[in-house]
Amino acid sequence: MPWNPHALPDQSGRVLAVTGATAGIGYFAAEQLAAAGAHVVLLGRSPQKLAVAERRITEQVPAATLSSVVVDLASLESVSAAADRLAAIPALHGIFLNAGPDATVRGVTADGLPVQMGTHAVGNVALASAVLPLLSRTAATQQGRGRLVFAGTGYVRRIAVSLDDLLQVPRFSITAYVKAKTALEVYAYELDRRLRADAVPVDAIVSDPGVGVDAKTPVRAGIADPAIRYQRNPFTPWAQGKDAAAWSAVRALADPDAVGGSCYGPAGAVRGVPTRLEPVARTARPPAGEAQRITAELLRIAGIEAGATQRHR
């Protein structure tokens, strides 16, 4: 049957986590999953903003069941602490790894890493690695498959960047952002291959949101407000709201037929109903040895011992 983002499969009994859940795509993914019956774990940097997000979701979905965990992807110590809190929950069926600064942000993380590579790539790799055992145990116990959904970007299809030195910072902010997202996609596809080879019941999937703009996003007080909308955004005429930009990730988490190692994105390239896309060859099928090298480097930077577990041979 065609996928309908307005009528999701029942998610009752599933526990799904969303990072960056206090704004934009992350917030609307959490709201949509809660409306479908999932218990949603909201992850974000600010306890105050997490409380606002919980209130807004409950206003839209009175029966929502929610919990919150504070995490800052710009700090590997914070990621480790958040992972400990997540490990205390009885089950986790999937996580949307969405958090990270926008493409204009420059600087370094608490660990001294370039902020784009340190958050979008290294921070997400660290969090994915930390929650993978819980996803695997939940899947094995319930005879299903866990989901690791990584937020990609359509810019990866359009802009080729070098990954020879992951910590070298490109001159332009947008290039630094695309470099980090490219490295993350390479990792996601390589991780899925390794999980399959080790018979771990968890799928790694990439989601492309298309283009979401504030001017077309539904109002949620303290989350998406008219006062902070950029009506003159040049993308506005042909883009979608951030609620629709969340659809690809929501499908990757909620569709029982979603396929590991795949990419889901809008049918219209920048907007539309989410569909399964052909992955970018540069990230899904890079030259021999490249995926292994990049994965090993990301794990090293994140402080994860390669070869120590099933998940990273």
The beta strand positions in the chain, using DSSP E, are 15-19, 39-44, 65-70, 94-97, 146-151, 202-207, 212-213, 240-241, 263-266, 274-277
Length of the chain: 313
Nearest to 250 by CA among 64, 31, 20: 31
pLDDT over 90, % of the chain? 78
Facing residues of 212 across strands? Answer: 240
Structural contact between residues 18 and 33, judged by C-beta atoms closer than 8 angstroms: yes
Query: Which domains does the chain show, CATH number per domain?
Result: 15-301 (3.40.50.720)
pLDDT confidence of residue 47: 96
Burial 129-162 (b: 16+ CB within 10 A, else e): bbbbbbbbebbeeeeebbbbbbbbbbbbbeeebe
Model confidence pLDDT, tens digit, residues 191-215? 999 999 999 999 999 999 988 878 7
Place 140 in a pLDDT band, splitting at 50, 70 and 90. very high
Model confidence pLDDT, tens digit, residues 209-261? 988 878 788 889 888 775 555 555 666 677 888 999 999 999 999 999 999 99
**132: pLDDT strictly greater than 80:** yes
Give the pair of three-digit tokens for residue 208.
């492309």
Place 104 in a pLDDT band, splitting at 50, 70 and 90. confident
Task: Name the 3-class secondary structure at 299.
Answer: helix
Model confidence pLDDT, tens digit, residues 25-50? 999 999 999 999 999 999 999 999 99
Residue 65's contacts (CB-CB under 8 Å, 6 or more residues apart) are 34, 39, 40
